[in-house]
Amino acid sequence: MSTLVGTQTIVEMVERSLSQLGAKIALKIPKPDGSYDQISYAELHKRSGQFAATLKRRGFRPGQHFALIGKPRTDWAVVYLGVLKAGGVVMPVDASWQAPEVQRVLKEMDVIGVAVSDAPHYEMVKDLVQLQHIVTMDRLPGIATVSDWLTEDLAAPSERQPEDLAVILCTSGTTGNAKGVMLAHENIVANLEASAERIDFESSDVVLSIAPWYHVFGMIVLLMTLRTGATLIYTDDYKNLPKYLSENRVSIVVGVPKLFHAMYEKLESTVQSNRLARFLWRYAPTLLGSKIKKRLVGGSQLKFFLSGGAPLDANVMKNLRRLGIGMIEGYGLTETSPVLTVSTPFNDKIGSVGPAIPGVELRIDDPDEHGVGEIVVRGPNIMRGYYKNPEATKKVIDPDGWFHTGDLGYLDEDGWLYIKGRKKNVIVLEGGKNVYPEELEFEFKQIPYIEEIMIKGGKRHGVEVIKAFVYPKPELLQTKKIEEIHRLIWEAIKEKSKNIAHYKRIHSQHDLIILDKPFEKTSKLDIKRYLYEGE
């Protein structure tokens, strides 16, 4: 088994592309007016070096933590690479988090500097006393922008070792003990090198991704593109996606299952409404697929779709491949930098997320009679641990270096992994967002009407949603009807949710279930979650 330890830092890995590709466009982000916010490799090299030089001049030292809050844009990438070039540790923060979440995480992760995208995000951080550096991407009165900092001469990147910490990614934001995943340079570089052996990224590729860079999936796609010397287009504008695909002649599309489900549904609807398309679908699917690819991306250059972040519907994968459109699915976690397994574009193992990438050892712990057990992994991509949380680290990384994913699966005779469920309680939404029940339970337990609460995923109209099971205060049950209690608690949850990211919220009163007796519990007083169906 190859070890594939990363022998470079992230900066060293991307420096060849940054310094040699000149005017070639590295990044493009569509703007509302139809133009693009874009940057060349040469300009990204220059500006990130200038940002690093300014940080150093202001006293920023190697190893210090610097946060990034906002949606992807060229300045985001400048700051990300600039912090790493200054020897710092960069902490991307989910742009949808609310002020209490952001403030708590910045304090707990010992962040001393931050770059924010706009006025609302600036309002969240402006009064945090520990921040020595605040810079914005939008122009705000009296506040330095990223552009204002690009005045220094380029300085040589601070010397860092592959084993040094590079990135902290927080897996939750609301509770008082957010888990900050510590990823070293060698963790990420080793993962990129191994992934590159399986995923065909080339310098001639134009990659379109809807995965935001503050998410580990989006971050690794960003770095893979820069490492390869390709061009990356980021957008979350589903409506205008066809325009961006065709006018940029995209060759690789990266997204979460929600994107590919939507694309397939539209494709299926179009086929069913056209007699010739229905004929081709039945008798010549690859010919139909070639016509679809030409219409979709303006030519025949489309190589594959790459899906990650949540499970992909097997029917979508099977039918896209039948059309001759390659469909790759991968599996990984923030704690594993992230990729663990990757499938191939046209395999017949529908439902598998592929074999382990080079350097990653994977086994199934305590399998049942069907071979299903916990997925446990080891390799150079495993995180350093959770920041200032050794107890939580010990729970997931054993003394032999095996990381216990908390996910359930089995391996077939060829070593291909099939995910069967989640041992952890984490809820994975269709868009790939993770929602941690304990985080929401912590917030909602403060509502005075609630005695006990359990958050669980469930289905509504076939889509994964967040459900709340609530046992009210006993005195409420004695004095009010269930319908009235339901209304009271629903209104309280809506009010409490104003300080919680939108995707973490309970979106329908139908997803609030009121119980008339306490939860059934184990001898350790843990709720028996399996007794309460989220369907």
Q: Tell me: the pLDDT tens digits for 52-77? A: 999 999 999 999 999 999 999 999 99
Are 6 and 185 in contact, with CB atoms under 8 Å apart? yes
> Residues 263-266: contacts with CB within 8 Å, 24+ apart?
264/316, 264/319, 264/320
Three-class secondary structure of residue 450 per DSSP: strand
- CATH code assigned at 488: 3.30.300.30
Domain that holds residue 444: 436-531
* Residue 176 confidence class, pLDDT cut points 50, 70, 90: low
In the chain, how long is the greatest CA-to-CA distance? 74
Greater confidence (405 vs 372) lies with: 405
Q: What is the overall mean pLDDT for the chain? A: 92
462 part of a folded domain:
yes
480 part of a folded domain:
yes
Q: Of 36-50, 86-100, 123-137, 262-276, where does mean pLDDT reach its minimum?
A: 262-276
- Asked whether the CA dihedral 136, 40, 12, 337 is positive or negative, the reply is positive
* Average of per-residue pLDDT across 125-153: 95
* Residue 528 confidence class, pLDDT cut points 50, 70, 90: confident
* Average of per-residue pLDDT across 169-175: 68
Are 81 and 56 in contact, with CB atoms under 8 Å apart? no
- Contacts with 458 (C-beta within 8 Å, 6 or more apart), sequence order: 464, 465, 466, 467, 511, 533, 534, 535
- Whether 523 has a pLDDT exceeding 60, the answer reads no
* Average of per-residue pLDDT across 387-416: 95
Work out how many domains the chain is built from and give that number. 1
- The predicted-structure confidence for 240-251, as pLDDT tens digits, reads as follows 999 999 999 999
457 part of a folded domain:
yes
Greater confidence (2 vs 364) lies with: 364
Q: What percent of the chain has pLDDT over 70?
A: 96
Q: What percent of the chain has pLDDT over 90?
A: 77
How deeply is 228 buried, as exposed, middle or buried, from its count of CB atoms within 10 A (0-12, 13-18, 19+)? buried
Q: Of 225-229, 382-386, 406-410, where does mean pLDDT reach its minimum?
A: 406-410
- The predicted-structure confidence for 181-222, as pLDDT tens digits, reads as follows 999 999 999 999 999 999 999 999 999 999 999 999 999 999
318 part of a folded domain:
no
Q: Hey, which bits of 6-60 come out as E strands?
A: 25-30, 36-40
- The whole-number pLDDT of residue 339 equals 98
- The whole-number pLDDT of residue 273 equals 92
The H or E element containing residue 57 is: helix 41-57
Task: Give the predicted TM-score (pTM) of the model.
Answer: 0.86
The H or E element containing residue 278 is: helix 275-283
367 part of a folded domain:
no
Omega prior to 285 cis, within 30 of 0: no
- The whole-number pLDDT of residue 63 equals 97
445 part of a folded domain:
yes
Q: At what angle do helices 74-85 and 41-57 cross, to 10 degrees?
A: 50
* Residue 4 confidence class, pLDDT cut points 50, 70, 90: low
Greater confidence (199 vs 261) lies with: 199
CA 445: distance to chain centroid?
A: 28
- Whether 388 has a pLDDT exceeding 70, the answer reads yes
Are 5 and 380 in contact, with CB atoms under 8 Å apart? yes
- The whole-number pLDDT of residue 198 equals 95
- Asked whether the CA dihedral 151, 157, 160, 166 is positive or negative, the reply is positive
Q: Which residues pair with 167 in a beta bridge?
A: 90, 183
- Whether 2 has a pLDDT exceeding 60, the answer reads no
* Average of per-residue pLDDT across 106-120: 97
- Whether 426 has a pLDDT exceeding 90, the answer reads no
Find where tokens 């994107």 sit.
259
Q: At what angle do helices 10-20 and 74-85 cross, to 10 degrees?
A: 120
- The whole-number pLDDT of residue 513 equals 95
448 part of a folded domain:
yes
| DSSP category for residue 91 | E
- The whole-number pLDDT of residue 521 equals 79
Which strand ranges, in their side-by-side order, compose the sheet holding 417-422? 361-365, 373-378, 403-411, 417-422
- The predicted-structure confidence for 286-333, as pLDDT tens digits, reads as follows 999 999 999 999 888 999 999 988 788 888 999 999 999 999 999 999
* Residue 424 confidence class, pLDDT cut points 50, 70, 90: low
- Whether 334 has a pLDDT exceeding 80, the answer reads yes
137 part of a folded domain:
no
Pairing of strands 36-40, 25-30: antiparallel
CA distances from 375 to 177, 332, 421 (A): 25, 11, 10
